[in-house]
């Protein structure tokens, strides 16, 4: 499993092209998000490969105390450790010990206060995920929002207090944001799934 094998530049173009098609054809924000999430899960499955013990789904993680996380957009889990407790298509309920990566995917965030509110709402889950299962939490944003490179850096620098390990952004119109960003995301996933 290598980043060069993933052809991240083509994947990046595909994601941004697909996002544009979604935006032009779907008005409902929830459906737009579901399409972006499904597209990213499909890409991750291809990158991890069918021979890998790691699987990709979405759903929830169940902790030792039998409580569960909120819905997670992407869960990458290790089938050598445990099978899903429940599976229905792409939807999975995973025991915490098998979870390796939880990814939150957002299509839009425009202002810091809105971004912080979204993070505050999920903070407890992310911190519990890290504390009780050691899962890596990644935040992936596919956006056309206007904000500066400095704001991007500031967001990334404040994430650890929310239990998020890293933050990745693909922008449709601003190439300086995209250069290497998907490759960095793929490398982060691959480094955990070795």
The range of the structural domain enclosing residue 76 comes to 3-192
Spatial strand order of the sheet with 136-143 comes to 86-88, 91-95, 54-62, 72-78, 99-106, 136-143, 166-171
CA atoms of 74 and 11, how far apart (whole Å): 17
3-state secondary structure of 31: helix
pLDDT tens, residue by residue, 149-169: 566 667 677 777 778 888 777
Q: Give the pTM.
A: 0.81
Looking at residue 118, its pLDDT comes to: 66
8 A C-beta contact, residue 68 and residue 61? yes
Looking at residue 146, its pLDDT comes to: 58
Instruction: Specify the number of domains making up the chain.
Output: 1
Tally: H helices and E strands in the chain = 7, 7
Rg (CA), the chain: 16
Q: How many residues does the chain have?
A: 194
DSSP 159: G
Outline where the chain has alpha helix (H): 3-6, 8-25, 29-48, 112-133, 149-157, 175-178, 181-192
CA atoms of 9 and 17, how far apart (whole Å): 12
* Ranges of the chain whose pLDDT falls below 50: 1-5, 110-111
Looking at residue 4, its pLDDT comes to: 39
Pairing of strands 72-78, 54-62: antiparallel
Looking at residue 116, its pLDDT comes to: 66
């Amino acid at each position: 499993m290598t980043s060069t094998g993933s052809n991240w530049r083509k994947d990046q173009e595909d994601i941004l092209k697909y996002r544009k098609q979604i935006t032009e054809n779907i008005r409902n924000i929830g459906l737009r998000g579901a399409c972006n999430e499904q597209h990213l899960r499909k890409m991750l499955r291809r990158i991890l490969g069918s021979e890998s013990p790691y699987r990709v789904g979405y759903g929830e993680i169940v902790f030792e105390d039998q409580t569960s996380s909120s819905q997670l957009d992407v869960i990458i889990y290790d089938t050598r450790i445990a099978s899903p407790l429940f599976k229905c298509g792409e939807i999975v309920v995973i025991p915490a010990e098998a979870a390796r990566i939880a990814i939150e995917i957002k299509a839009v965030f425009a202002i810091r206060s809105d971004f912080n509110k979204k993070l505050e709402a999920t903070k407890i889950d992310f911190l519990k995920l890290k504390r009780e299962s050691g899962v890596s939490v990644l935040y992936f944003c596919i956006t056309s929002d206007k904000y500066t490179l400095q704001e991007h850096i500031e967001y990334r620098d404040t994430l650890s207090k929310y239990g998020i390990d890293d933050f990745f952004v693909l922008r449709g119109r601003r190439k300086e944001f995209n250069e290497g960003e998907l490759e960095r995301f793929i490398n982060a996933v691959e480094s955990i799934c070795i």
